[in-house]
């Protein structure tokens, strides 16, 4: 199947307008042509610099423009980031995503973030960063350090954008995405729904993403996490079925991309998440914290995957591998103690 980059607004609207069952069925059918329907990729997030952001994104706990009561934190020490990455790997994440509340990284920050990438990569994890706007040179430096993915969202439609952010433009975001792509990094770009936007804006967002010169490899669809103190702290809830429709349409427009069920899972029950997977979502953030807000318990997610038969192949592989490793380790221990017994015995004989 050839990937399309010329989706019209009318075509996308027609997908949104399908009866729910028809839309989800079509999305699942396309999903199966490109992916294992029972596999979900798992990433863990870490905020490496928190709060006091100069941008005015009206949804964000970290914007310095609003009083959200968030504890600010300077750039984390590299050792701390590595400890968190090891933790994430042990819990089963395959990718570690580091986020900073910056408009863009300053030159003096770059050596630290590049070192973080190198060391996280050396643990055998895929690496992802989201640091705000990037110059072409910064994108190349990140690529050379071993970064796999860069996350930079378009957030909403160009038409709705001015109601959400005024300190950086839509074109600024598109330019960063172009720098990321040109540097050879994989692109993670999506948006947020439930910002009080209209369906036309969800259509506009997906149209922008699907008509980029290349589809992002990863498309996060975030449900707004309402943050008290921000201008969107008490916006009306979005109909959950409209969220699932957005996931399904993303799957249909960008059939080879991972569609990520991102922020907002804590407010979704297990059945809704299962419907999102049915509609073509095939990655999640895993671990109790997103950047500053909470995410479902890892144990709950593992149980949900088990109940749905998701990643059972990988889980099986992991448990087989860890069982084999445990057996190998105990054999090594037995051999070591046999050696030391022999050594003690010969010492006793000599004495």
Active-site positions?
53, 57, 60, 97, 128, 188, 260
Region near ligand SAM per CB under 6 A, out of 147-155, 178-186, 203-211, 235-243? 147-155
Select from ligand SAM, ligand DTB, ligand SF4, none the partner in contact with residue 63, using the beta carbon and a kind-dependent cut-off of 5 to 8 Å.
ligand SF4
Residue of 225, 232, 250, 254 that binds ligand DTB (CB under 6 A): 225
Residue 124 tokens read as 């055998």
The only residue of 176, 222, 257, 283 in contact with ligand DTB, by rule CB under 6 A: 222
State which residue, 8 or 169, has the beta carbon closest to ligand SF4: 169
Neighbours of 240 (CB within 10 A): 17
Task: Determine contact, residues 268/237, Cβ cutoff 8 Å.
Answer: no
Helix-helix angle 199-210:240-253, to 10 degrees: 20
Decide if 7 contacts 211 (C-beta within 8 A): yes
* Candidates 8-16, 30-38, 222-230, 311-319; binding stretch for ligand SAM (CB under 6 A): 222-230
Beta carbon of residue 190, minimum distance to ligand DTB (angstroms, whole number): 6
The closest alpha carbon to 44, from 114, 120, 118, belongs to: 120
Q: Which is nearer to ligand DTB, 222 or 282 (CB)?
A: 222
246 binds, among ligand SAM, ligand DTB, ligand SF4, none (CB under 5 to 8 A by kind): none
| Closest separation in Å from C-beta 164 to ligand SF4 | 9
* Burial group, residue 203, by CB count within 10 angstroms (0-12, 13-18, 19+): buried
What is the C-alpha R_g of the chain?
23
Tell me if 63 contacts ligand SF4 by CB under 6 A. yes
267 lines the binding site for ligand DTB (CB under 6 A): no
| CA nearest neighbour of 215 among 176, 245, 255, 247 | 255
What would the two tokens of residue 110 be? 């770059």
Candidate residues 101, 206, 259, 268; the one interacting with ligand SF4 per rule CB under 6 A: 101
CA distance 345 to 351: 10
Return all residues near 104 (Cβ < 8 A) that are at least 6 apart.
131, 132, 133, 134, 135, 138
Using CB under 6 A, list all residues that contact ligand SF4.
53, 55, 57, 60, 62-63, 101, 132
Using CB under 6 A, list all residues that contact ligand SAM.
59-60, 99, 101-102, 130, 132, 152-153, 155, 192, 222, 224-225, 227, 263, 291
């Amino acid at each position: 199947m050839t990937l399309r980059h010329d989706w019209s607004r009318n075509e996308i609207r027609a997908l949104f307008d399908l009866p729910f069952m028809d839309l989800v069925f079509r999305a699942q059918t396309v999903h199966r042509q490109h992916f294992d329907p029972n596999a979900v990729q798992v990433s863990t997030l870490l905020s490496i610099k928190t709060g006091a952001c100069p941008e005015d994104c009206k949804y964000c706990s970290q914007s310095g423009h609003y009083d959200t009561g968030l504890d600010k934190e300077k750039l984390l020490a590299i050792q701390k980031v590595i400890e968190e990455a090891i933790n994430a790997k042990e819990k089963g994440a395959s990718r570690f995503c580091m986020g900073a509340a910056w408009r863009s990284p300053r030159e003096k920050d770059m050596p630290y973030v590049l070192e973080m990438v190198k060391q996280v990569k050396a643990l055998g994890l895929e690496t992802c960063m989201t640091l705000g706007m990037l110059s072409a040179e910064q994108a190349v430096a990140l690529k050379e350090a071993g970064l796999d993915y860069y996350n930079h969202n378009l957030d909403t439609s160009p038409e709705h954008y001015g109601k959400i952010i005024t300190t950086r433009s839509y074109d600024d975001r598109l330019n960063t995405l172009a720098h990321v792509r040109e540097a050879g990094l994989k692109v993670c770009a999506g948006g947020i729904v439930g910002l009080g936007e209209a369906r036309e804006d969800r259509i506009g967002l997906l149209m922008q993403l699907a008509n980029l010169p290349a589809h992002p490899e990863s498309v996060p669809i975030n449900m707004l996490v309402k943050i008290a103190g921000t201008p969107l702290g008490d916006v009306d809830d979005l109909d959950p079925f409209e969220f699932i429709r957005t996931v399904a349409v993303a799957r249909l427009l960008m059939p080879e991309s991972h569609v990520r069920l991102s922020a907002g899972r804590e407010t979704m029950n297990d059945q809704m998440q299962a419907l999102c997977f049915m509609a073509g979502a095939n990655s999640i953030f895993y671990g109790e914290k997103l950047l500053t807000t909470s995410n479902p318990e890892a144990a709950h997610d593992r149980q949900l995957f088990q109940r749905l038969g998701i990643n059972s192949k990988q889980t099986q592989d992991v448990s087989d591998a860890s069982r084999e490793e445990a057996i190998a380790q105990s054999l090594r221990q037995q051999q070591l103690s046999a050696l030391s017994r022999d050594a003690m015995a010969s010492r006793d004989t000599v004495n």
